Amino acid sequence: MQVKAIIFDLDGTLFQSEKVGLPAFLETFRVLKEEGLYREEMPTEDKIRSVFGMTHDELWQTLLPDATKEIREKADRMMLGFELELIGRHRGEFYPGVKETLHALKERGYALFIASNGVGPYVRGVLESGDLTSLFTGIYSAGEYKTKSKVDLVSLLKEQHQVTDGMMVGDRSSDVEAGKQNGLVTVGCRYSGFPQFGSRDELAGADHLISSFAQMLDLA
């Protein structure tokens, strides 16, 4: 059976990750400093935003380049706990039009998927907070499948669900690369009026660019 799919990144694409990610990172660094495990200047908010969308290995290599493996793992556990707490308190928000548009795409017969560089509990927690889990045929996270890159994660998703055609939708160059290398149409998300996590040319190679999530309905 051939499956026509739309594969979505999560943070910066469906979910405004800075709403929970930024305070969770800042609280993590506060605790690390309090415990004497981090003695440098606190990373700036811009520096923290720059790692959104990276794998967890990549983001801690960027933010804690001189830390031991044990400290990075402790920081990762703390950050996840703070994020889940904030999600549970409904501090997170989806971008305008996400819920309605996803329902409409599902009604048009698309198989919807998530491919995120996040960890499983976070990804599932975000989707559950918006009652969106049931819309997705498959939910893939790098933390759960232990993939090294978004390219590998999307490749695994395609193989397991026999996806032969469709789109990859995301806000980072890693999403565009994953789509291109897996033979998918690529859609870059650069939403008007919202923070951008990548450089200005981050999405230069995308087949399409959208400035609001509802524009997905024009492409599907």
Q: Are 14 and 94 in contact (CB under 8 A)?
A: yes
pTM score, whole prediction? 0.90
220 residues of the chain, pLDDT tens digit each: 456 899 999 999 999 989 999 999 999 999 999 999 999 989 999 899 888 878 888 899 999 999 999 999 999 999 999 999 999 998 889 999 999 999 999 999 999 999 999 889 999 999 999 999 999 999 999 988 988 899 999 999 999 999 989 999 999 999 999 999 999 999 999 998 887 776 778 898 999 999 999 999 999 8
pLDDT value of position 2: 57
Q: Cα torsion at 140, 142, 143, 146 (round to 10°)?
A: 110
Q: What is the largest CA-CA distance in the chain?
A: 56
Sheet containing strand 3-8, edge to edge, reads 136-141, 111-116, 3-8, 163-170, 185-189, 208-210
Q: Residue 88 corresponds to which tokens in the numbers above? A: 């549970």
Q: How far is CA 112 from the centre of its chain?
A: 15
- DSSP assignment of 57-86 equals HHHHHHH-TTS-HHHHHHHHHHHHHHHHHH
Measured distance CA(114)–CA(32) in Å, rounded? 32
Measured distance CA(203)–CA(185) in Å, rounded? 13
**Long-range contacts from 208-214, C-beta under 8 angstroms, 24+ separation:** 212/95, 212/96, 212/97, 213/14, 213/95, 213/96, 213/97, 213/98, 213/101, 213/189, 214/96, 214/97, 214/100, 214/101
Question: pLDDT digit string (tens) for 156-174?
Answer: 999 999 998 999 999 999 9
Q: State the DSSP H helix or E strand holding residue 126, giving kind and residue range, or none if neither.
A: helix 120-129
CATH class of the 3-16+93-219 domain in this structure: alpha beta
Tokens 């759960």 correspond to: 144
